[in-house]
Chains A and B, each alone.
Chain A
Amino acid sequence: MQKLSDIKSGLNRTNKRGMALPVVLVLFSTLSIGIFSLWIITNQERGSSKNFVVNTKAALLADAIHVFLTAQAYSAPWSERFFKEKQRFPISSAGTGTWAGKLQASIAEMYKSDPWLAANLDYRGDISSTVKDDQKIIIISVIIENRRTGDMICRHKYYEVYKRDLIDTIGEGVSLFVDETESSDSPSEDLPPELSQT
C-alpha cells in the first residue's frame, strides 16, 4: 500500500510539471486578447474611415446630380421644362440627346475619372416641380446606394426656387437642402416650412 507521503509528493511533482503549459497558455491568451482588441479597434477605425469616405463621396455625387439637373432646368424656359410630370432617373433606354441620357453621360464622366465611384455607388431619384404662392419650385430627390449590397447611403432632397427673369438672375437665388438619410419615413411630398410659409 502506497504511503500518504508518496502520494503527496507525486501530486506535488505532477503539479509543478504541469505549470509550464498553463503559464504559456495564460501568457498567450493575455497577449492574444490584447492583440485581438487592437485588431478590433483598428478594424473599427478602418470601418469608420471607410464610412467617412463612402459618405463623403456619396454626398458629393448627390450634389453633382442635383447641380446637373438644376442646370438642365435652366436650359429651357419654364413652360418647356422636361419635368412638368415627375421624372425618375436613371432611365435605362435614355437617348443620347435627352436630359436623362445627358445626365447618365455626365455621371459616367465622373465614374471614369474616379473608378471607385463606378465600382461602389449607384444613384436613383426624381425631379419634379410645383408652384406655391407664385413661386416656381424645382424639387430634386437623390438617393445614393451601395452598388454591391443595395443599402442606402444617403437620401437628399433639394428645393430650388426658379428665377423668373433678369432681376432674379442678378440677385441671389433661393435654395434649400434637406438630408433625409436618417429619416425612417418614406420621402415626404410636402414642401419644407421655409418654402411653404412664404
Chain B
Amino acid sequence: MRARVGFTIIEMIFAVVLLAFFIYFIANSFVSTKKQHHMNSEYLTRAYIADVVIKLIKERIEVNPNFLAGINNIGNNNNLDKSSCLVNPIAENINFNQLLNKPDYKVALRDIPVISYADADKESGFYFGIIEFKPENDLFRGSESGFKTFLNVNELEKYSYDLKISNDSQANPVGLVKIIEVTVRYNGLNQPDPSPFKLTTKIVCPVSSMSSATYEEIQKNLFKEIASDIYTSIEADLARGGFSLSALVAGIERDCKASTFSTMKIVDLGMPENAPDRPRAEAAFKQILVLHCALELYQEAISELNSELALLGDKDDVVSTVKVMDNSVQKAQWALQVLEVTVDPIDDILLALKPAGIAPPSPDAMFNYQVPIMAMRYLLSASENDRDSTRISRFVTIAESLPQEYSQSMQEAFTRVNRLLQSSYRKLTPRQLQKYSRSMLSFYQLASINSSRLTVSGPRRTATELAQQASSTLSLLYSFYGENNYLAGVEFVECEKQKLQQFNSISATRLKEMIKKIQKFNNLGGKLNQLKAELSKIDAVARGAQSVNLVSAPYDVNMDELCDVYLKRGRQAVTEYLERCRREYEASLQN
C-alpha cells in the first residue's frame, strides 16, 4: 500500500486561515506599535521643545536681566515679527524710565516657529525665535552636517510654540514673580494639534526688569531692617562690658557733684521732687550710648577693613579685585547702617537738652537743668579713644567721615572692577564677565547716585568721569561679544549703554529710597554740629558764663549764682534772689 503524502484540502484551508489571521494580528500590532512610537516621539519632541524654551528663556534672563522688560515692550506692539521677536527685543532706542515705570506686565505671543528662516537659502534664521543663526556663525555653519543634523531641523520645522509671561497676582509685591507658560504645537497635521504640550513655571523677576513701584516696595522692606544689625552689635558690646544704664547715670551724678560749679553740685536725681528726671536722664543716656557705641564700633570696623585693604595692595587680578569689592561693600554698608542709627538719637538728645518745665520761675526751676547738665558733662568730657578730644568732637569727626567713606568705598570698588574688566576681559570666563560687569554697573550706580548732594571733603571724582569709564568698558565688551557672536551678551551691553546715558532720569524715580538715605548723610553733620552748639551753651550756663532767660520771666538769671545761693542758704534764699532779679529788671525798664 502506497503512503499518501502532502496536506489535505481542509488542512490547507485551516493553515491559510490561521496564517492570515496571524498575519493580520501581527500587522495590526506592528502598525499600532509604530503609531504609538510616532505618537510618543511627537509627544516627547513637544516636551523637549517646551523644556528647551523654558531653559533658554531663563538663561536669556540670566545673561540679560533687562530681557523681561524688553519683551514686555515688544509684547505691546501689534506688528510683531514672530520669527525674530525674542532675538533682540531692546536693540532700538528705548526710554527705560518709561519702560520700567509700567506696573502691569503681560506678554502673549502665539505661534513662534521653532525654526524659521530669514532667507530662501535657509542660511540664516532663528532657532526657537531666540537664537539667531547666520552663515558667519561657526556654530551653525554647514548645511546638513553638524548642528543642523543634531537638531533634526527638518522635523523641528513642523513645531511652533506660544509664550505667555504675566505677573503672579498672588505674590507680593506684585511684579516680583512672573508666570511663564509655554505651549508647544505640532503643525504637521491637516488640522490643529489636538494635544499641544504645556509647561508652566514661575521665575523671580530680576531687578533690572522690575517696575519702579515693585522695586521701591522691596527697598522699603529691606531698609526697615538696615539698623537692626548695628543695634544687635551695640547690645552685644554693652553686654560684654557688663554695662548698666542706671550705674552710668549714677556715675555721672557723682561726677557732677564733685565739680567746683554749683550748677553741677546740686545735681541730685534722688531728691523726691526730681523723681521724673531719673527716667528722663536714663532715656537721654540710652540715646547718647547708641550714638557713642555706633560711632565707635564703626570706627573700629573701618580701621580693621582699611588694614585689610592696605594688605591687598593694588593688584588687578580676580582674587584681589573680589576682596577689594567685598571690603568696599562692607565699609559702605557700615556707613549706611551707622547713619541710620545715629540720626534719630541725635534728635532725641537735642530734645533732652531743652530744660523742660523751667517756667514759671521758682526755687525748683534750677533743677530742670539737671538732665542737660549731666548730658553736657558726659559729652564734653575727654574721649576714651582720643584723650585730646571731647566725646562730642570725636563723634562729629567720625560722623563727618561717613559720607566720605561711603562715596570713596563705592568709587574704589567701581575702579577696581572696572580696571579688571578692561585689562582682562578676554581672559575671564563668560560667567565671570557677566558677574563683574554687573557688579561694575551696580557700583557705578551707588557711587554716582545723588553724588552732587554729598558733601565730601577731599578729591572726589565726578559722576561724569565714572560714566565715561563704565561706558568705555561696555564698548570693549560690546566688541568682544560681537566678535564671538554672543548675541545675548551684545543685547545686555546695548541695554546697559542706553541705561547709562539715561541714568540721571532713571535714578530719580528708580532709586528714590536710596537717595533718601544718602541725603541723611548731609543732615547728620548738621545735626551733630547743632548738638555741639547746644552743649557749649549749656556748658556756659553751667559755668555761670551765660545767664539764662527763663520762660515767662523776661529777666536773665545766672544759674551758677542761683545754685550757689541754694547750696549756701536754702530754698527761701532762692525765692528772694529771684525776686531781687525781678525788681532789678523792672527798675531797668523804668530807667
Contact surface of A with B, Cβ cutoff 8 Å: 6, 9-10, 12-13, 16-17, 20-21, 23-24, 27-28, 31-32, 35, 38-39, 42, 45-46, 49, 52-53, 56-57, 60-61, 63-64, 67-68, 70-72, 74-79, 102-103, 105-106, 109-110, 113-114, 116-117, 134, 163-172
10 interchain residue pairs of minimum CB distance: A9-B3, A75-B172, A106-B170, A60-B201, A64-B202, A77-B224, A170-B442, A67-B202, A71-B176, A49-B44
Task: Find out whether the CB atom of A134 lies under 8 angstroms from the CB atom of B229.
Answer: yes
B179 on the A face (CB < 8 A)? yes
Q: A68-B177, A165-B222 are in contact. List 7 more A-B contacts (CB 8 A).
A: A10-B3, A24-B22, A27-B19, A67-B177, A67-B201, A75-B172, A166-B336
Task: Find out whether the CB atom of A164 lies under 8 angstroms from the CB atom of B3.
Answer: no
A–B pairs, 13, beta carbons within 8 Å: A13-B5, A20-B7, A24-B22, A38-B33, A64-B200, A64-B202, A72-B172, A74-B222, A75-B172, A106-B202, A165-B225, A165-B337, A166-B223
Contact surface of B with A, Cβ cutoff 8 Å: 1-8, 11-12, 14-15, 18-19, 22, 26, 29-30, 33, 36-37, 40, 43-44, 47, 50-51, 54, 168, 170-173, 176-177, 179, 181, 197-204, 207, 218-219, 221-226, 228-229, 329, 332-333, 336-337, 435, 438-439, 442, 445-446, 511, 513-514, 517
Task: Find out whether the CB atom of A68 lies under 8 angstroms from the CB atom of B200.
Answer: no
- Contact partners of A12 in chain B: CB under 8 A: 3, 5
- Contact partners of B197 in chain A: CB under 8 A: 53
Q: Contacts A13-B4, A61-B201, A165-B226: A170 and B30 contacting too (C-beta < 8 A)?
A: no
Partner of B445, one of A17, A105, A163, A170: A170
- Contact partners of B517 in chain A: CB under 8 A: 166
Task: Find out whether the CB atom of B170 lies under 8 angstroms from the CB atom of A16.
Answer: no
| Bound form: Cα–Cα A35–B11 in Å | 26
- Contact partners of B36 in chain A: CB under 8 A: 42, 46
Task: Find out whether the CB atom of A16 lies under 8 angstroms from the CB atom of B5.
Answer: yes
Say how far A57's CB is from chain B's closest CB, in angstroms.
7
| Bound form: Cα–Cα A50–B275 in Å | 80
Q: Contacts A28-B22, A63-B201, A166-B514: A35 and B47 contacting too (C-beta < 8 A)?
A: no
- Contact partners of B224 in chain A: CB under 8 A: 77, 79
Task: Find out whether the CB atom of A31 lies under 8 angstroms from the CB atom of B33.
Answer: no
- Contact partners of B51 in chain A: CB under 8 A: 56
Task: Find out whether the CB atom of B33 lies under 8 angstroms from the CB atom of A35.
Answer: yes
Task: Find out whether the CB atom of A110 lies under 8 angstroms from the CB atom of B179.
Answer: yes
- Contact partners of B19 in chain A: CB under 8 A: 24, 27
Say how far B325's CB is from chain A's closest CB, in angstroms.
9
| Bound form: Cα–Cα A70–B19 in Å | 66
Partner of B6, one of A16, A102, A164, A172: A16
Partner of B170, one of A61, A105, A116, A164: A105
| Bound form: Cα–Cα A117–B514 in Å | 42
Say how far B435's CB is from chain A's closest CB, in angstroms.
6
Task: Find out whether the CB atom of A165 lies under 8 angstroms from the CB atom of B223.
Answer: yes
- Contact partners of A38 in chain B: CB under 8 A: 29-30, 33
| Bound form: Cα–Cα A107–B19 in Å | 56
| Bound form: Cα–Cα A114–B50 in Å | 13
Say how far A146's CB is from chain B's closest CB, in angstroms.
18
Q: Contacts A9-B3, A167-B329: A77 and B15 contacting too (C-beta < 8 A)?
A: no
Task: Find out whether the CB atom of B44 lies under 8 angstroms from the CB atom of A172.
Answer: no
| Bound form: Cα–Cα A49–B45 in Å | 10
| Bound form: Cα–Cα A170–B440 in Å | 11
Partner of A166, one of B172, B202, B513: B513
- Contact partners of A76 in chain B: CB under 8 A: 221
Task: Find out whether the CB atom of B513 lies under 8 angstroms from the CB atom of A172.
Answer: no
| Bound form: Cα–Cα A102–B7 in Å | 79
Say how far A76's CB is from chain B's closest CB, in angstroms.
6
Partner of A56, one of B18, B40, B179, B199: B199
| Bound form: Cα–Cα A32–B29 in Å | 9
Task: Find out whether the CB atom of B435 lies under 8 angstroms from the CB atom of A68.
Answer: no
- Contact partners of A16 in chain B: CB under 8 A: 5-6
Task: Find out whether the CB atom of B33 lies under 8 angstroms from the CB atom of A42.
Answer: yes
Say how far A177's CB is from chain B's closest CB, in angstroms.
13
Q: Contacts A35-B26, A46-B40, A63-B202: A171 and B3 contacting too (C-beta < 8 A)?
A: no
- Contact partners of B513 in chain A: CB under 8 A: 166
Task: Find out whether the CB atom of A79 lies under 8 angstroms from the CB atom of B228.
Answer: yes
Say how far A145's CB is from chain B's closest CB, in angstroms.
18
Task: Find out whether the CB atom of A49 lies under 8 angstroms from the CB atom of B26.
Answer: no
- Which of B14, B50, B201 has the most chain A CB atoms inside 10 A of its CB? B201
Say how far B30's CB is from chain A's closest CB, in angstroms.
6
Say how far A194's CB is from chain B's closest CB, in angstroms.
16
Task: Find out whether the CB atom of B201 lies under 8 angstroms from the CB atom of A64.
Answer: yes
Task: Find out whether the CB atom of B222 lies under 8 angstroms from the CB atom of A71.
Answer: no
Say how far B412's CB is from chain A's closest CB, in angstroms.
14
Q: Contacts A60-B200, A71-B204, A169-B207: A78 and B225 contacting too (C-beta < 8 A)?
A: yes
Say how far A40's CB is from chain B's closest CB, in angstroms.
10
Partner of B439, one of A45, A57, A103, A171: A171
Say how far A118's CB is from chain B's closest CB, in angstroms.
12
- Contact partners of B1 in chain A: CB under 8 A: 6, 9
- Contact partners of A27 in chain B: CB under 8 A: 19, 22
Partner of B15, one of A20, A35, A71, A172: A20
